[in-house]
């Protein structure tokens, strides 16, 4: 598996996406770290690649930004050539192909989620190595290991948009409280047929967790 190169910046992150009837909710912390040094405390790890398709990025900041830029270009080209919006599956397949073809050189764990007219809401995970998995919800990043049990216990497939937003906020805040590489604010994006709704939860408004 690839390793970070000397001086390369790691996201050291918590990212997640949850599907509900009619849309998806994505969430992430905002800390970008280089070893023990926090290089950016308010980075945006929710990246728009098309009108209703976003990705969450973990791993090398440089690698994931470059891959997202390439996918964004190809999706714009797809729209121009076909005269229609790409599906989330098309976007996820592009991410997967790039990550798999360059698996020895990239450190990129990516979640792709959004809404399209063909499949509705969908969530895909592309972990290190370039495999692809369609899931009702997924987590990634260093902080995800602290909250898998919490999310497995509380996730319900019949949650509303507001319930999903609160689920994401609570989950990411739990990861922030335990993972030294996750921190800052929580950024949330709710994507439906009507568009994208963005939220930022600042540090003083994060859900409070027991810290012992």
pLDDT single digits (tens) 88-106: 999 999 999 999 999 999 9
Please indicate whether residue 13 is annotated as part of the active site: yes
Contact 106, 95 (CB under 8 A): no
For the segment 175-187, the average pLDDT, to the nearest whole number, is 93
Mean pLDDT over each residue of the chain, to the nearest integer: 93
- Distance, CA of 83 to CA of 14 (rounded, Å): 36
| Digit-coded pLDDT (tens) for 54-63 | 999 999 989 9
Residue 137 pLDDT > 90, yes or no?
A: yes
Nearest to 164 by CA among 13, 28, 53, 26: 26
Residues 6+ apart with CB under 8 A from 211: 177
> Please, what's the largest Cα pairwise distance for the chain?
57
The C-alpha atoms of residue 210 and residue 212 are separated, in whole angstroms, by 6
- For the entire predicted model, the pTM comes to 0.93
Phi-psi region of 195 (alpha: psi -120 to 50; beta: other; left: phi over 0): left
Confirm if 89 and 113 have CB atoms less than 8 A apart.
Answer: no
> Scanning the structure block, which residue is given the tokens 């909710």?
25
The pLDDT, as a whole number, for residue 48 is 98
């Amino acid at each position: 598996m690839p390793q970070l190169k000397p001086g390369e910046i790691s996201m050291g992150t918590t990212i997640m996406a949850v599907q509900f009837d009619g849309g998806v909710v994505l969430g992430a912390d905002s800390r970008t770290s280089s070893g023990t040094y926090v290089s950016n405390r308010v980075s945006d790890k929710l990246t728009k690649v098309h009108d209703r398709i976003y990705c969450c990025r973990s791993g090398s900041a440089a690698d994931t930004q470059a891959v997202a830029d390439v996918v964004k270009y190809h999706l714009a080209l797809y729209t121009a050539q076909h005269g229609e919006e790409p599906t989330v599956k098309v976007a996820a397949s592009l991410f997967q192909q790039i990550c798999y073809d360059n698996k020895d050189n990239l450190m990129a764990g990516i979640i792709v989620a959004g809404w399209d007219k063909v499949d509705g809401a969908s969530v895909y995970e592309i972990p290190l190595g370039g495999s692809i998995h369609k899931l009702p919800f997924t987590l990634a990043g260093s902080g995800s290991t602290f909250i898998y049990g919490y999310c497995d216990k509380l996730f319900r497939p019949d949650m509303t948009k507001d319930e999903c937003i609160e689920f994401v906020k609570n989950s990411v805040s739990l990861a922030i409280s335990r993972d030294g590489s996750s921190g800052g604010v929580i950024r949330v994006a709710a994507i439906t047929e009507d568009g994208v709704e963005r939220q930022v939860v600042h540090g003083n408004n994060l859900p409070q967790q027991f810290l012992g």
